[in-house]
Structure 1
């Protein structure tokens, strides 16, 4: 096994549809725009295999 990933599951529907999950909205609201941007910078600068994504260089005007 080279890589195993986990997910918080906040945006994933239940196996038997019983409704929408509501954790993601409040989590994002609590972080605010600056907190979300910091989270993106922490989590999205490298790919799963460790390569630079370049996401902030390409999209710096969209943040």
Structure 2
């Protein structure tokens, strides 16, 4: 049977872990949003747009 002190440590540990997990999810979400913003900025460039358009046109030419 657990003593009161060890039970409190287990409960406190779980609460602290739950908060840390939430913080880790928040940091991961912010990192993903930053990466998505970077990709949008890159894909809006004219060179990348021309490259993607060429790939799509070749793919459509092969199918038709």
Query: TM-score w.r.t. structure 2 length?
Result: 0.28
Structure number having the greater helix percentage:
2
Q: Larger relative CO (CA 8 A, sep 6+): 1 or 2?
A: 1
